[in-house]
Structure 1
Amino acid sequence: MTLANQLTLLRILLIPALILVFYLPFKWSAFFSALIFSLAAITDWADGYIARKYNQSTPFGAFLDPVADKLMVAVALVLLVEVHGTAAFAIPAVVIVGREIVISALREWMAELGKRAAVAVSGIGKIKTTCQMVAIIVLLLFRPGVSGFMTFVGYAALYAAAILTLWSMILYLKAAWPELNPANHAGGGDH
Protein backbone atom coordinates (compact mmCIF):
# COMPACT_ATOMS: atom_id res chain seq x y z
CA MET A 1 0.00 0.00 0.00
CA THR A 2 1.72 3.17 -1.21
CA LEU A 3 1.58 6.50 0.63
CA ALA A 4 -0.41 7.94 -2.28
CA ASN A 5 -3.03 5.19 -1.90
CA GLN A 6 -3.11 5.70 1.87
CA LEU A 7 -3.89 9.39 1.35
CA THR A 8 -6.70 8.45 -1.04
CA LEU A 9 -8.13 6.03 1.53
CA LEU A 10 -7.87 8.75 4.16
CA ARG A 11 -9.99 10.99 1.94
CA ILE A 12 -12.70 8.32 1.84
CA LEU A 13 -12.50 7.88 5.63
CA LEU A 14 -12.97 11.64 6.04
CA ILE A 15 -16.45 11.39 4.45
CA PRO A 16 -18.24 9.95 7.51
CA ALA A 17 -16.28 12.39 9.70
CA LEU A 18 -17.53 15.28 7.55
CA ILE A 19 -21.14 14.10 7.83
CA LEU A 20 -20.91 13.60 11.60
CA VAL A 21 -19.26 16.95 12.30
CA PHE A 22 -21.60 18.79 9.90
CA TYR A 23 -24.62 17.71 11.93
CA LEU A 24 -23.19 18.27 15.40
CA PRO A 25 -25.25 20.94 17.22
CA PHE A 26 -22.27 23.12 18.12
CA LYS A 27 -21.15 26.52 16.84
CA TRP A 28 -17.77 25.11 15.83
CA SER A 29 -19.26 22.41 13.55
CA ALA A 30 -19.12 24.75 10.53
CA PHE A 31 -15.42 25.45 11.11
CA PHE A 32 -14.52 21.79 11.56
CA SER A 33 -16.65 20.73 8.56
CA ALA A 34 -14.71 23.18 6.42
CA LEU A 35 -11.44 21.98 7.98
CA ILE A 36 -12.22 18.32 7.23
CA PHE A 37 -13.13 19.14 3.64
CA SER A 38 -9.96 21.25 3.32
CA LEU A 39 -7.88 18.32 4.58
CA ALA A 40 -9.56 16.10 1.98
CA ALA A 41 -8.75 18.65 -0.74
CA ILE A 42 -5.11 18.73 0.38
CA THR A 43 -4.90 14.92 0.28
CA ASP A 44 -6.35 15.05 -3.25
CA TRP A 45 -3.47 17.24 -4.36
CA ALA A 46 -0.87 15.40 -2.25
CA ASP A 47 -1.70 11.87 -3.40
CA GLY A 48 -1.36 12.85 -7.05
CA TYR A 49 1.88 14.73 -6.41
CA ILE A 50 3.39 11.85 -4.42
CA ALA A 51 2.27 9.24 -6.96
CA ARG A 52 3.95 11.17 -9.79
CA LYS A 53 7.10 12.31 -7.96
CA TYR A 54 7.89 8.96 -6.33
CA ASN A 55 6.51 6.72 -9.09
CA GLN A 56 3.78 5.34 -6.81
CA SER A 57 1.05 5.17 -9.45
CA THR A 58 -0.91 1.93 -9.17
CA PRO A 59 -4.02 0.56 -10.89
CA PHE A 60 -5.77 0.60 -7.49
CA GLY A 61 -4.89 4.27 -7.00
CA ALA A 62 -5.92 5.16 -10.54
CA PHE A 63 -9.33 3.63 -9.81
CA LEU A 64 -9.77 4.87 -6.23
CA ASP A 65 -8.55 8.49 -6.56
CA PRO A 66 -11.35 9.76 -8.82
CA VAL A 67 -13.91 7.77 -6.81
CA ALA A 68 -12.73 9.41 -3.58
CA ASP A 69 -12.84 12.86 -5.20
CA LYS A 70 -16.34 12.44 -6.56
CA LEU A 71 -17.69 10.95 -3.33
CA MET A 72 -16.30 13.74 -1.17
CA VAL A 73 -17.65 16.48 -3.45
CA ALA A 74 -21.06 14.82 -3.89
CA VAL A 75 -21.48 14.28 -0.13
CA ALA A 76 -20.49 17.87 0.65
CA LEU A 77 -22.89 19.24 -1.97
CA VAL A 78 -25.76 17.10 -0.64
CA LEU A 79 -25.09 18.39 2.88
CA LEU A 80 -25.00 21.97 1.62
CA VAL A 81 -28.19 21.57 -0.44
CA GLU A 82 -29.97 20.78 2.81
CA VAL A 83 -28.85 23.94 4.60
CA HIS A 84 -29.15 26.27 1.62
CA GLY A 85 -32.46 24.77 0.48
CA THR A 86 -32.85 26.93 -2.63
CA ALA A 87 -33.00 26.31 -6.35
CA ALA A 88 -30.15 28.80 -6.70
CA PHE A 89 -27.93 26.34 -4.83
CA ALA A 90 -29.48 23.07 -6.02
CA ILE A 91 -29.07 23.84 -9.75
CA PRO A 92 -25.25 24.17 -9.80
CA ALA A 93 -24.99 21.24 -7.37
CA VAL A 94 -27.06 19.03 -9.71
CA VAL A 95 -25.00 20.19 -12.71
CA ILE A 96 -21.74 19.25 -10.94
CA VAL A 97 -22.92 15.84 -9.70
CA GLY A 98 -24.74 15.04 -12.96
CA ARG A 99 -21.68 15.88 -15.04
CA GLU A 100 -19.55 13.56 -12.93
CA ILE A 101 -21.95 10.69 -13.60
CA VAL A 102 -22.01 11.39 -17.35
CA ILE A 103 -18.23 11.73 -17.67
CA SER A 104 -17.54 8.66 -15.51
CA ALA A 105 -19.82 6.60 -17.75
CA LEU A 106 -18.24 8.11 -20.87
CA ARG A 107 -14.70 7.32 -19.65
CA GLU A 108 -15.70 3.75 -18.80
CA TRP A 109 -17.27 3.26 -22.21
CA MET A 110 -14.30 4.82 -24.03
CA ALA A 111 -11.93 2.59 -22.02
CA GLU A 112 -13.87 -0.46 -23.23
CA LEU A 113 -13.22 0.75 -26.78
CA GLY A 114 -9.53 1.23 -25.97
CA LYS A 115 -9.81 5.00 -26.45
CA ARG A 116 -9.63 6.23 -22.86
CA ALA A 117 -6.95 8.80 -23.76
CA ALA A 118 -9.48 10.64 -25.94
CA VAL A 119 -11.31 11.71 -22.76
CA ALA A 120 -8.35 12.36 -20.44
CA VAL A 121 -8.46 15.03 -17.73
CA SER A 122 -8.04 18.53 -19.16
CA GLY A 123 -6.62 21.78 -17.82
CA ILE A 124 -10.15 23.15 -17.52
CA GLY A 125 -10.86 20.30 -15.11
CA LYS A 126 -8.15 21.54 -12.75
CA ILE A 127 -9.59 25.07 -12.72
CA LYS A 128 -13.08 23.64 -12.24
CA THR A 129 -11.87 21.54 -9.32
CA THR A 130 -10.24 24.57 -7.70
CA CYS A 131 -13.44 26.63 -8.00
CA GLN A 132 -15.45 23.70 -6.65
CA MET A 133 -13.16 23.22 -3.64
CA VAL A 134 -13.14 26.95 -2.82
CA ALA A 135 -16.94 27.10 -3.09
CA ILE A 136 -17.51 24.10 -0.86
CA ILE A 137 -15.00 25.19 1.79
CA VAL A 138 -16.46 28.72 1.94
CA LEU A 139 -20.05 27.47 2.05
CA LEU A 140 -19.26 24.88 4.73
CA LEU A 141 -17.56 27.55 6.82
CA PHE A 142 -20.16 30.28 6.35
CA ARG A 143 -23.59 28.73 6.73
CA PRO A 144 -26.63 30.72 5.55
CA GLY A 145 -27.19 33.88 7.55
CA VAL A 146 -23.62 34.15 8.86
CA SER A 147 -22.05 36.39 6.19
CA GLY A 148 -23.87 37.62 3.12
CA PHE A 149 -20.59 38.54 1.42
CA MET A 150 -18.98 35.13 2.00
CA THR A 151 -22.15 33.36 0.89
CA PHE A 152 -21.96 35.42 -2.31
CA VAL A 153 -18.29 34.41 -2.74
CA GLY A 154 -19.23 30.74 -2.22
CA TYR A 155 -22.11 30.93 -4.70
CA ALA A 156 -19.94 32.77 -7.25
CA ALA A 157 -17.26 30.06 -7.01
CA LEU A 158 -19.94 27.35 -7.19
CA TYR A 159 -21.48 28.87 -10.34
CA ALA A 160 -18.01 29.26 -11.88
CA ALA A 161 -17.41 25.57 -11.15
CA ALA A 162 -20.78 24.62 -12.66
CA ILE A 163 -20.09 26.62 -15.84
CA LEU A 164 -16.61 25.09 -16.18
CA THR A 165 -18.18 21.69 -15.47
CA LEU A 166 -20.57 22.10 -18.40
CA TRP A 167 -17.80 23.43 -20.63
CA SER A 168 -15.48 20.53 -19.84
CA MET A 169 -18.34 18.06 -20.36
CA ILE A 170 -18.94 19.52 -23.82
CA LEU A 171 -15.22 19.18 -24.59
CA TYR A 172 -15.24 15.53 -23.41
CA LEU A 173 -18.33 14.74 -25.46
CA LYS A 174 -16.84 16.49 -28.49
CA ALA A 175 -13.66 14.39 -28.15
CA ALA A 176 -15.75 11.22 -27.87
CA TRP A 177 -18.23 12.18 -30.60
CA PRO A 178 -16.55 10.14 -33.36
CA GLU A 179 -17.23 7.03 -31.25
CA LEU A 180 -20.68 8.16 -30.12
CA ASN A 181 -21.94 9.10 -33.60
CA PRO A 182 -23.82 6.13 -35.11
CA ALA A 183 -23.10 7.47 -38.61
CA ASN A 184 -19.43 6.61 -38.08
CA HIS A 185 -20.19 2.93 -37.43
CA ALA A 186 -21.45 0.35 -39.87
CA GLY A 187 -24.81 -1.01 -38.81
CA GLY A 188 -25.66 1.94 -36.57
CA GLY A 189 -25.28 0.26 -33.15
CA ASP A 190 -27.50 -1.40 -30.57
CA HIS A 191 -29.45 1.54 -29.17
Structure 2
Amino acid sequence: MHITIPTALTLFRILLLPVMVIAFYAPFHGANVAAALIFIAAAITDWLDGWVARRWNMGSAFGAFLDPVADKLMVAITLFLLVQENPTPLMAVTSAVIVGREISISALREWMAEIGERATVRVAAIGKIKTAMQIVAIVVLLYQHDLEGLRLFHVGEGLLVIAAGLTIWSGMLYVRAAWPILRQQR
Protein backbone atom coordinates (compact mmCIF):
# COMPACT_ATOMS: atom_id res chain seq x y z
CA MET A 1 0.00 0.00 0.00
CA HIS A 2 1.26 3.44 -0.96
CA ILE A 3 0.94 6.08 1.80
CA THR A 4 -0.06 9.44 0.32
CA ILE A 5 0.83 12.76 1.91
CA PRO A 6 -2.73 13.24 3.23
CA THR A 7 -2.70 9.77 4.77
CA ALA A 8 0.71 10.44 6.32
CA LEU A 9 -0.73 13.62 7.86
CA THR A 10 -3.66 11.63 9.24
CA LEU A 11 -1.29 9.02 10.70
CA PHE A 12 0.75 11.85 12.23
CA ARG A 13 -2.46 13.20 13.82
CA ILE A 14 -3.07 9.81 15.41
CA LEU A 15 0.52 9.67 16.66
CA LEU A 16 0.09 13.10 18.25
CA LEU A 17 -2.66 11.74 20.52
CA PRO A 18 -0.42 9.86 22.98
CA VAL A 19 1.96 12.81 22.94
CA MET A 20 -0.94 15.09 23.91
CA VAL A 21 -2.00 12.69 26.69
CA ILE A 22 1.55 12.64 28.07
CA ALA A 23 1.69 16.45 27.92
CA PHE A 24 -1.73 16.67 29.62
CA TYR A 25 -0.49 14.65 32.61
CA ALA A 26 3.08 15.97 32.63
CA PRO A 27 4.10 17.43 35.99
CA PHE A 28 5.52 20.72 34.73
CA HIS A 29 4.21 24.26 34.64
CA GLY A 30 2.69 24.88 31.24
CA ALA A 31 1.81 21.24 30.53
CA ASN A 32 -1.75 22.31 29.77
CA VAL A 33 -0.48 24.85 27.24
CA ALA A 34 1.65 22.13 25.63
CA ALA A 35 -1.40 19.82 25.44
CA ALA A 36 -3.46 22.62 23.87
CA LEU A 37 -0.73 23.34 21.30
CA ILE A 38 -0.44 19.66 20.40
CA PHE A 39 -4.22 19.50 19.97
CA ILE A 40 -4.05 22.57 17.72
CA ALA A 41 -1.31 20.91 15.66
CA ALA A 42 -3.52 17.83 15.28
CA ALA A 43 -6.48 20.00 14.24
CA ILE A 44 -4.32 21.75 11.63
CA THR A 45 -3.27 18.40 10.17
CA ASP A 46 -6.98 17.48 9.99
CA TRP A 47 -7.63 20.50 7.79
CA LEU A 48 -4.37 20.13 5.87
CA ASP A 49 -4.80 16.46 4.93
CA GLY A 50 -8.20 17.18 3.35
CA TRP A 51 -6.91 20.24 1.56
CA VAL A 52 -3.89 18.39 0.12
CA ALA A 53 -6.05 15.42 -0.90
CA ARG A 54 -8.49 17.66 -2.80
CA ARG A 55 -5.91 20.09 -4.19
CA TRP A 56 -3.59 17.46 -5.67
CA ASN A 57 -6.14 14.67 -6.13
CA MET A 58 -4.33 12.46 -3.59
CA GLY A 59 -7.37 10.85 -2.01
CA SER A 60 -7.24 7.15 -1.23
CA ALA A 61 -9.64 4.55 0.12
CA PHE A 62 -7.41 4.04 3.18
CA GLY A 63 -7.22 7.79 3.78
CA ALA A 64 -11.00 8.14 3.43
CA PHE A 65 -11.40 5.43 6.07
CA LEU A 66 -8.66 6.67 8.41
CA ASP A 67 -9.45 10.40 8.46
CA PRO A 68 -12.81 10.20 10.28
CA VAL A 69 -11.36 7.59 12.66
CA ALA A 70 -8.54 9.99 13.55
CA ASP A 71 -11.05 12.81 14.03
CA LYS A 72 -13.21 10.73 16.38
CA LEU A 73 -10.19 9.52 18.35
CA MET A 74 -8.84 13.05 18.69
CA VAL A 75 -12.10 14.45 20.07
CA ALA A 76 -13.10 11.44 22.21
CA ILE A 77 -9.71 10.95 23.89
CA THR A 78 -9.39 14.64 24.68
CA LEU A 79 -12.93 14.82 26.08
CA PHE A 80 -12.21 11.80 28.28
CA LEU A 81 -9.14 13.59 29.65
CA LEU A 82 -11.11 16.77 30.29
CA VAL A 83 -13.95 14.95 32.06
CA GLN A 84 -11.47 13.05 34.22
CA GLU A 85 -9.77 16.33 35.14
CA ASN A 86 -13.08 18.20 35.65
CA PRO A 87 -15.72 15.63 36.65
CA THR A 88 -18.74 17.91 36.65
CA PRO A 89 -22.18 16.86 35.40
CA LEU A 90 -21.99 19.53 32.68
CA MET A 91 -18.67 18.25 31.33
CA ALA A 92 -19.80 14.63 31.54
CA VAL A 93 -23.15 15.17 29.82
CA THR A 94 -21.84 17.40 27.02
CA SER A 95 -18.93 15.02 26.38
CA ALA A 96 -21.26 12.00 26.40
CA VAL A 97 -23.55 13.73 23.90
CA ILE A 98 -20.63 14.50 21.59
CA VAL A 99 -19.01 11.06 21.78
CA GLY A 100 -22.37 9.26 21.60
CA ARG A 101 -23.36 11.19 18.48
CA GLU A 102 -19.99 10.51 16.84
CA ILE A 103 -20.35 6.76 17.40
CA SER A 104 -24.01 6.67 16.36
CA ILE A 105 -23.62 8.70 13.19
CA SER A 106 -20.46 6.81 12.21
CA ALA A 107 -22.46 3.58 12.51
CA LEU A 108 -25.32 5.11 10.51
CA ARG A 109 -22.98 6.27 7.76
CA GLU A 110 -21.27 2.87 7.64
CA TRP A 111 -24.62 1.07 7.36
CA MET A 112 -25.87 3.48 4.71
CA ALA A 113 -22.70 2.90 2.69
CA GLU A 114 -23.14 -0.85 3.06
CA ILE A 115 -26.61 -0.68 1.50
CA GLY A 116 -25.44 1.64 -1.28
CA GLU A 117 -26.90 4.85 0.15
CA ARG A 118 -23.67 6.65 1.14
CA ALA A 119 -24.67 9.85 -0.68
CA THR A 120 -27.79 10.11 1.47
CA VAL A 121 -25.70 10.92 4.56
CA ARG A 122 -22.93 13.12 3.14
CA VAL A 123 -21.08 15.49 5.43
CA ALA A 124 -23.06 18.71 5.66
CA ALA A 125 -21.92 22.27 6.39
CA ILE A 126 -23.36 22.05 9.91
CA GLY A 127 -21.02 19.12 10.53
CA LYS A 128 -18.03 21.27 9.67
CA ILE A 129 -19.30 24.08 11.94
CA LYS A 130 -19.84 21.52 14.72
CA THR A 131 -16.29 20.24 14.32
CA ALA A 132 -14.84 23.76 14.40
CA MET A 133 -16.80 24.58 17.58
CA GLN A 134 -15.64 21.35 19.22
CA ILE A 135 -12.02 22.16 18.40
CA VAL A 136 -12.24 25.71 19.74
CA ALA A 137 -14.02 24.53 22.92
CA ILE A 138 -11.49 21.77 23.54
CA VAL A 139 -8.50 24.08 23.00
CA VAL A 140 -9.93 26.61 25.46
CA LEU A 141 -10.62 23.84 28.00
CA LEU A 142 -7.12 22.40 27.61
CA TYR A 143 -5.51 25.81 27.97
CA GLN A 144 -7.05 26.30 31.45
CA HIS A 145 -5.57 29.75 32.12
CA ASP A 146 -7.55 32.88 32.80
CA LEU A 147 -6.98 35.96 30.69
CA GLU A 148 -7.20 39.26 32.55
CA GLY A 149 -10.06 38.18 34.78
CA LEU A 150 -11.87 36.19 32.09
CA ARG A 151 -12.51 32.67 33.35
CA LEU A 152 -11.51 30.80 30.20
CA PHE A 153 -12.54 27.44 31.60
CA HIS A 154 -16.13 28.69 31.91
CA VAL A 155 -15.91 30.08 28.37
CA GLY A 156 -14.72 26.65 27.23
CA GLU A 157 -17.61 24.96 29.04
CA GLY A 158 -20.05 27.30 27.31
CA LEU A 159 -18.47 26.62 23.93
CA LEU A 160 -18.65 22.88 24.61
CA VAL A 161 -22.37 23.20 25.39
CA ILE A 162 -22.82 25.02 22.06
CA ALA A 163 -20.78 22.28 20.35
CA ALA A 164 -23.03 19.64 21.96
CA GLY A 165 -26.09 21.50 20.66
CA LEU A 166 -24.60 21.62 17.16
CA THR A 167 -23.72 17.95 17.55
CA ILE A 168 -27.35 17.07 18.29
CA TRP A 169 -28.58 19.28 15.44
CA SER A 170 -26.21 17.76 12.88
CA GLY A 171 -27.00 14.26 14.12
CA MET A 172 -30.71 14.92 13.68
CA LEU A 173 -30.05 16.10 10.11
CA TYR A 174 -28.24 12.85 9.34
CA VAL A 175 -31.06 10.77 10.83
CA ARG A 176 -33.66 12.82 8.96
CA ALA A 177 -31.81 12.27 5.68
CA ALA A 178 -31.59 8.52 6.37
CA TRP A 179 -35.09 8.19 7.84
CA PRO A 180 -36.91 7.12 4.64
CA ILE A 181 -34.45 4.26 4.27
CA LEU A 182 -34.44 3.43 7.98
CA ARG A 183 -38.25 3.16 7.93
CA GLN A 184 -38.29 0.66 5.07
CA GLN A 185 -38.97 -2.90 6.07
CA ARG A 186 -36.43 -5.31 4.69
TM-score, normalised with respect to structure 1: 0.92
**2:103 match:** 101
Residue 138 of structure 1 aligns to which amino acid in structure 2?
A: V
Please give the alpha-carbon distance, in whole angstroms, between the structure 1 residues aligned to 2:138 and 2:130: 12
Contact preservation (8 Å) 1:30, 1:140: yes
Aligned mates of 1:30, 1:112 — CA distance in 2: 41
2:31 and 2:141 map into 1 onto residues whose CA distance is 13
Task: Identify the residue that residue 160 of structure 1 maps to in structure 2.
Answer: 162
Structure 2: how far apart are the matches of 1:43 and 1:21?
19
CA deviation digits over 1:48-67, x for unaligned, max 9? 00000010000010000000
Match for residue 25 of structure 2 among 14, 23, 26 = 23
For residue 68 of structure 1, what is the aligned residue in structure 2? Answer: 70
In the alignment, what sits opposite 1:171? 173
TM-fit CA distance, 1:2: 1.1
Confirm or deny: 8 A CA contact 2:133 2:159 kept in the other structure. Answer: yes
For 2:83, give the aligned amino acid: V
Report the 3-state secondary structure (helix = DSSP H, G, I; strand = E; otherwise coil) of the residue aligned with 2:16: helix
| Match in the other structure for 2:116 | 114
One-letter identity of the residue aligned with 2:43: A
Match status 1:138 vs 2:140: yes
Amino acid at match of 1:84: N
Tell me the distance in 2 between the aligned counterparts of 1:128 and 1:157: 11
CA distance in 2, matches of 1:133, 1:106: 23
| Paired-residue identity, % | 55
Which of the numbers 71, 85, 88 marks the counterpart of 1:86? 88
The reply on whether 1:124 has 2:117 as its aligned counterpart is no
1:11 and 2:21 equivalent?
A: no
Residues 105-156 of structure 1 deviation map (CA, whole Å, 9 limit, x = unaligned): 1011101110011001000011101110000001001169xx7621122112
1:110 counterpart letter in structure 2: M
In structure 1, distance between residues paired with 2:104 and 2:66:
18
Q: Is the 2:145–2:152 Cα contact (8 Å) retained in structure 1?
A: no
Partners in 1 of 2:154 and 2:30 — Cα distance?
Answer: 21
| Structure 2 CA distance for aligned equivalents of residues 44 and 86 of structure 1 | 29
Q: CA RMSD in A?
A: 1.5
**Residues in 2 aligned to 1:151 and 1:163: alpha-carbon distance in whole angstroms:** 18
Q: Kindly provide the CA deviation profile for residues 76-98 of structure 1, in whole angstroms up to 9, marking residues without a partner as x.
A: 00000011110011111000000
* Corresponding residue pairs, total: 183
**Cα distance in structure 1, aligned partners of 2:87 and 2:61:** 39
Structure 2 partner of 1:39: 41
> For the residues of structure 2 that align with 1:148 and 1:82, how far apart are their CA atoms?
23
Between the aligned partners of 2:113 and 2:7, the Cα distance in structure 1 is 22
